[in-house]
Copies of this chain bind each other. A is one copy, B any other.
Amino acid sequence: MTERRIRALAFAGSLRARSYNRALVRVAVARAPEGLSVDVFDLRPLPLYDADVESGGDPDPVADLKRAVRAAELVIIATPEYNQGVTAVTKNAVDWASRPPRPQAWDGKPVAIMGATPGRLGTVGAQRVLRESLGNLGAYVMPQPRLLLSGAAALFSDELELIDGPTLERVDGFLAAAAAWARRFVETVGQ
C-alpha cells in the first residue's frame, strides 16, 4: 500500500536572490520524499496589500497566489526573521491569501513553517508571529518538528547548497512530518 501523495506549495518570505530561505525552498523541492511533491511560488511579483487596488479586482499575482494556496494540500513557508518578527514579504502573502471569497484560502489549510537566518535565534520570533496569524485564520500549522536554522552561513555552500549533514537530516524529517501532517487533513476519497 502506497501513501497518498501530498501536493505542496512552498514560498520564501524574502526577495533577495541569494536568500537562505529561497535556498531552503529549493532544498524542500529537491529532497521531497516519495509521498510529497513541492511546487514553488515566487512572491516577487506580489504588490503590497492595498484595499484600493483590491477593490478594482485582484492583480494577476494575487489571483495566482490565492489559487495556488487553495489548490495546495500543504503550504510550506520559509521565512526569514527581521527584528524578531515576520518579514513584510511573508506577512503580505499571508494577508493577500486571507482575503475573500469565503472561506478564505487558509481556512483548514495544513501549513508547515521553516526558517533560516545567519543569526542565532533561528527565526523563532518570526515563526511565533506567523503561527499566531495563521492559526487565527484557521490554518492547521504543524506544531512539531520545528525547523529553525541558525548560523545559516555555515550550513550552506557559496552556491547556496545545504551541505550540513545533520541539517539535511533535520530537513528530511521535517518534510516527512509535514507530509504526514497534511495527510491527516486531506479528503480520503475512495479509501
Contact = CB atoms under 8 A, between A and B. Distances in A.
B15 A52 contact: yes
A157 interface: no
Given A48-B48, A49-B89, A91-B91, A84 B136 contact: yes
A85 interface: yes
A16 interface: yes
Counting every copy of the chain, the complex holds: 2
B92 A83 contact: no
A132 interface: yes
A88 B85 contact: no
Interface residues of A, number: 32
Nearest to A54: B16
A171 B22 CA distance: 43
Interface in A83-101: 83-89, 91-92, 94-95, 98
Interface string A74-113: 0000000011111111011011001000000000000000
A12 to B, nearest CB: 12
B95 A91 contact: no
A49 to B, nearest CB: 6
B91 A49 contact: no
B136 A92 contact: no
Nearest to A82: B95
A95 B79 CA distance: 15
Nearest to A104: B83
